[in-house]
Amino acid sequence: MKERLFITGIGTGVGKTICSAVLTRYFDADYWKPIQSGDLHYTDSMTVKDLTGNHIFCHPETYRLQLAASPHQSAAEEGITITINDFNIPETQKSLIVEGAGGLMVPLSDTEFIIDLIEKLKLPVALVIKNYLGCINHSLLSMMTIKQRGLHLKYVILNGAFPTDTERIICNHIEKETAIIRIPELNTLTQENIDTALENLEIIQ
């Protein structure tokens, strides 16, 4: 069965690209990053390509913006206004992993956000959570927002290790129809470590 997912996170720096690489391999999927904001010398698509191998196809970004900032700011610096109508899912016969920018409420413009793009693309959501002080608050708010918008939270991805008390509260608020994916801590990013993560991947229905 083909899998199509929009990978978002509870914030910036929670490991969306790493998780996208793992799931791209796991589902034998194509990869698409609709907006690359900054780091054009080594984009997230390049990272995924390096971590997954040459058999993975990365679709070109709709926007490649110079400034490493929120997309609405990066676009404004270049005199561009982003709208969700600019985006269309790439055609592919394979599964597809789509990686967003930052979290759900990252602005694309003054009026549209990443969550509006998810809604427009009509994709199930995979929410990446990493442990840090404040992650419980950000996790529960993100899950609440996804539910309020009527989006399908298909997976919650627990990226790395969590204190027992933190994990318990987060998991207690994950609804039954949402599966949990556990990806082990990756200290260095290599194809070999992605292989190890795949071997130790847990999906709990």
- The DSSP code sequence of 18-69 is HHHHHHHHHTTEEEE-SEEES-TTS-HHHHHHHHH-TTS-EEPPSEEESSSS
Q: Please tell me whether 103 is known to bind a ligand.
A: no
Q: Please tell me whether 99 is known to bind a ligand.
A: yes
Q: Please tell me whether 50 is known to bind a ligand.
A: no
Token pair of 51 as six digits? 């971590």
Q: Please tell me whether 199 is known to bind a ligand.
A: no
Q: Please tell me whether 16 is known to bind a ligand.
A: yes
Distance CA 6, CA 98 (A): 5
Active-site annotation holds for 33? yes
Which of 33, 49, 122, 176 is flagged as catalytic?
33
Q: Please tell me whether 109 is known to bind a ligand.
A: no
Q: Which residues contact 179 (CB under 8 A, 6 or more apart)?
A: 154, 155, 156, 203, 204, 205
Binding site, annotated residues = 13-18, 37, 44, 99-102
Known binding-site positions for ATP? 13-18, 44, 99-102
Active site residues: 33
Binding residues for substrate: 37
Which residues make up each annotated binding site for Mg(2+)? 17, 44, 99
